[in-house]
Structure 1
Amino acid sequence: MQAQRYTSVYVILMTLVVVASNILVQYPLAGTLFGVNLADLLTWGAFTYPVAFLITDLTNRQFGPKYARVVVIAGFVVGVTLSWWFSAPRIAIASGVAFFCGQMLDISVFNRLRRMSWWRAPLMASLFGSVLDTALFFSLSFAAFFSFLGPNDDFALGVSPIFGVMTMEAPRWISWALGDLTVKMLVALFMLLPYGALMSILKPMSSLEKAA
């Protein structure tokens, strides 16, 4: 009963994060930083989406991979359905595929490392999951090769210096992907703070502790 109750809370939180990120990823940052045009580098979704990995890792820590997968699948279904209404269909499809694959990889890595140092499992799981998620999301969302999923974003396809500063130019969505991944890695480090703070509150089930 406790697992089901907490799982429902995790599902709601996951859904909110996915929907918010799908909306915010369509809005590049405005302004400049050290002479770099932020619109060529980042979207607002980069700051909200990494929270999904924290939710998955907390579920995995407390109830194990089985319930973590339930949260991911439920968040996937509800999040993609709502995102279809609040964002472009292509974004919803890309988000669903990237979310599902990235989160499942996160669960697998976390489960393999859960017996090591407390920070290793959430950090490494988030980093591996973020790399896969970012590669899938931005390529499916904006690459011309996947245009059969929906119309391309003209602004995303516009050419800009890679990472906003390099002399080599590429479609803007590649810089978005690199900037997004950089932020995700930084946020993954920051997310260790709430994860560590909640460790004494959200303790693993007795069966998980015995297995460890």
Structure 2
Amino acid sequence: MKVLFRFVLPVVVMGLVILASNKLVQYPVQASLWGLDLGGLLTWGAFTYPAAFLVTDTTNRIYGVGSARKVVYVGFVFGLVLTITVALGIADHNRAPGTALIKSLFEDESASEMFRIACASGTAFLIAQLLDIQIFDRLRQLQWWKAPVASSFLGSLVDTITFFFLAFAGTGLPWASWALGDFGAKLVMIAVLLYPFKLMVTLIARGTRSA
């Protein structure tokens, strides 16, 4: 039971969050708010990615820095493999007869976009999550909410800048405004996920002690 909560479940959730975010970041939010077109400011990936910080911070709070780093490293590999597998699947489905799969991966627009996003996401993810772990650990003795808020805020800022630049710079897409909207949505999600963080820490810690 301890291994499940300490490693297996966080890694699985982390990998699925990465896959979902890498896919959803390709889809702008087709809606308007108070006359403002959200399609140029926001993608759906902004609403799923903050869950990765929730997983990291919960693991860090209960099991410490070492366990959090293991979850980040293995979850990163798992999520990257899932994303690249999806990209290869798209390339295989769309490739012309007799075309090599790798060639199709870089020639097919949807597949190559997914592959570039996977590389950008992996780079941004590692930098941001490891920064999050360090900041959280330095602040863990303060009031319960300060460590997750500060670490998620700075981690999200670094992640957003790194990811959108690597994934979309030079494509002609409005990546700067997407990054701004993405960061704003992440701040909202940090606030929304604060109570679930406290609840998860309490429940998992209680379950671990009784196991």
Fold-level match, TM-score > 0.5?
Answer: yes
- How far off is 1:51 after superposition? 0.5
Structure-2 residue corresponding to 1:112:
138
What is the CA deviation profile of residues 163-199 of structure 1, one whole-angstrom value per residue up to 9, with x for unaligned ones? xxxxxxxxx1100000000110111111111012223
- How far off is 1:4 after superposition? 6.0
- The alignment status of 1:199 with 2:205, answered yes or no, reads no
Q: Which amino acid aligns with 1:45?
A: G
DSSP 3-state at the match of 1:115: coil
Structure-2 residue corresponding to 1:167:
none
CA distance in 1, matches of 2:197, 2:205: 11
Matches within 5 A, 1:136-151: 136-144=162-170
- How far off is 1:81 after superposition? 1.5
Consecutive unaligned residues in structure 2, runs of 5 or more: 88-113
Matches within 5 A, 1:17-36: 17-36=17-36
- How far off is 1:203 after superposition? 2.9
**CA-based RMSD:** 1.7
Q: Is the 8 A contact 1:58 1:202 kept in 2?
A: no
CA distance in 1, matches of 2:179, 2:165: 9
Q: Is the 8 A contact 1:14 1:75 kept in 2?
A: yes
- The alignment status of 1:131 with 2:157, answered yes or no, reads yes
Aligned length: 182
Matches within 5 A, 1:38-187: 38-87=38-87, 88-144=114-170, 152=171, 154=172, 156=173, 172-187=174-189
Q: Is the 8 A contact 2:153 2:187 kept in 1?
A: yes
Quick one: structure 1 residues 121 and 9, their matched pair in 2 at CA, closer, same or farther if it must change by over 3 Å?
same
Q: Which amino acid aligns with 1:136?
A: T
Q: Is the 8 A contact 1:11 1:71 kept in 2?
A: yes
Q: Is the 8 A contact 2:160 2:179 kept in 1?
A: yes
What TM-score comes out, normalization by structure 2 length?
0.82
Q: Is the 8 A contact 1:3 1:63 kept in 2?
A: no
Structure-2 residue corresponding to 1:189:
191
CA distance in 2, matches of 1:29, 1:198: 29
Q: Which amino acid aligns with 1:113?
A: L
Counting aligned pairs with the same residue, the percent is 46
- Higher relative helix content: 2
- How far off is 1:33 after superposition? 1.6
What TM-score comes out, normalization by structure 1 length?
0.81
Q: Is the 8 A contact 2:152 2:190 kept in 1?
A: yes
